[in-house]
């Protein structure tokens, strides 16, 4: 958290929970980028401040209540403060991803966009059976072969648009993937599988091995526009 925001009125233990960040996602991302020798863009602030994955007009962009926890520093946030956080934190992240993609497009080939997230083993008292889920919306060029490759492992329960629906207008995949016509997907890994460095490394290696041949497929090396979605589905935060 930036110093000026303190802890947003939350106890320290709140920042070890999924409400503050996607546990294990940064470690997987950094290792995967190393395996694939590709750039990675990561935020440096808690999503309790502002969620960089959400669309600019999403009502959950700044959470007032997250998984039952009231966030005092967000509960009565003004429109001016919300705009300040968008300008100082949300927008620079989006702009950096755009800048990286522009550099890659300038030299070719067409880049694929892969977002790494994690989800809780249980939500609202219900266990989640999936080890990993692949989220997608209008463009399945990357998602479908990845789901097929993961299922071929034989030991994994793989979610297709689980535990969340991949259609969310304004989120990072919509902005950087759908709107640009770039192949893209969002990978959700169950948090208990990547809670430590060993798990992060194992999942990064697993993804790298199956993604290398998929990313080499010629059909991914093209910009392909699918139009826009008029309605969006809600996505959870756990």
Q: How far apart are CA 96 and CA 73, in angstroms?
A: 27
DSSP 8-state secondary structure symbol assigned to residue 155: S
Residue carrying structure tokens 């755009």: 98
Q: How far apart are CA 51 and CA 63, in angstroms?
A: 8
Q: Are 137 and 167 in contact (CB under 8 A)?
A: yes
Predicted local distance difference test score (pLDDT) of residue 226 = 77
Global pTM reads 0.93
Q: Is 160 helix (H, G, I), strand (E, B) or coil?
A: strand
Q: For the chain, which residues make up each domain, given as ranges?
A: 18-46+96-220
Residue carrying structure tokens 């939500």: 123
Q: How far apart are CA 56 and CA 225, in angstroms?
A: 22
Q: How far apart are CA 92 and CA 238, in angstroms?
A: 24
Q: Are 233 and 167 in contact (CB under 8 A)?
A: yes
CA atoms within 13 A on the CB side of 4: 5
How many CB atoms neighbour CB 153 within 10 A?
A: 12
Please report, in tens digits, the pLDDT of each residue of the chain (238 residues total).
Answer: 999 999 999 999 999 999 999 999 999 999 999 999 999 999 999 999 999 999 999 999 999 998 888 899 999 999 999 999 999 999 999 999 999 999 999 998 899 999 999 999 998 889 999 999 999 999 999 999 999 999 999 999 999 999 999 998 899 999 999 999 999 999 999 999 999 999 999 999 999 999 999 999 998 989 988 766 544 444 555 6
Peptide bond into 109 cis (omega under 30): yes
Tell me the two tokens of residue 55: 């669309």
Burial class of residue 79 in the structure, from the number of CB atoms within 10 Å of its CB (0-12 exposed, 13-18 middle, 19+ buried): exposed
Architecture of domain 18-46+96-220: 3-Layer(aba) Sandwich (3.40)
Residues 6+ apart with CB under 8 A from 90: 50, 51, 52, 56, 61
Q: How far apart are CA 206 and CA 25, in angstroms?
A: 14
Residues 6+ apart with CB under 8 A from 37: none
């Amino acid at each position: 958290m930036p110093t000026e925001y303190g802890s947003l009125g939350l106890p320290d233990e709140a920042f070890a929970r999924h409400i503050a960040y996607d546990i294990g996602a940064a470690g997987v991302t950094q290792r995967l980028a190393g395996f694939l020798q590709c750039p990675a863009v990561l935020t440096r602030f808690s999503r309790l401040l502002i969620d960089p994955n959400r669309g600019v007009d999403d009502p959950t962009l700044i959470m007032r209540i997250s998984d039952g926890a009231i966030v005092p520093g967000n509960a009565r946030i003004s429109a001016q403060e919300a705009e300040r956080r968008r300008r100082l934190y949300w927008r620079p992240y989006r702009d950096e991803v755009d800048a990286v993609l522009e550099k890659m497009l300038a030299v070719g080939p067409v880049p694929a966009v892969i977002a790494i997230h994690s989800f809780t083993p249980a939500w609202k008292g219900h266990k989640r059976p999936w080890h990993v889920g692949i989220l997608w919306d209008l463009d399945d060029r990357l998602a479908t072969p990845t789901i097929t490759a993961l299922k071929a492992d034989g030991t994994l329960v793989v979610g297709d648009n689980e535990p969340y629906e991949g259609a969310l207008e304004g989120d990072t995949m919509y902005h950087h993937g759908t709107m640009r016509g770039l192949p893209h997907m969002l990978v959700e890994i169950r948090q208990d599988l990547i809670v430590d460095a060993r798990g992060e490394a194992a999942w990064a290696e697993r993804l790298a091995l199956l993604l290398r041949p998929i990313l080499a497929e010629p059909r991914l090396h093209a910009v392909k526009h699918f139009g826009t979605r008029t309605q969006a589905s809600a996505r959870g935060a756990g």
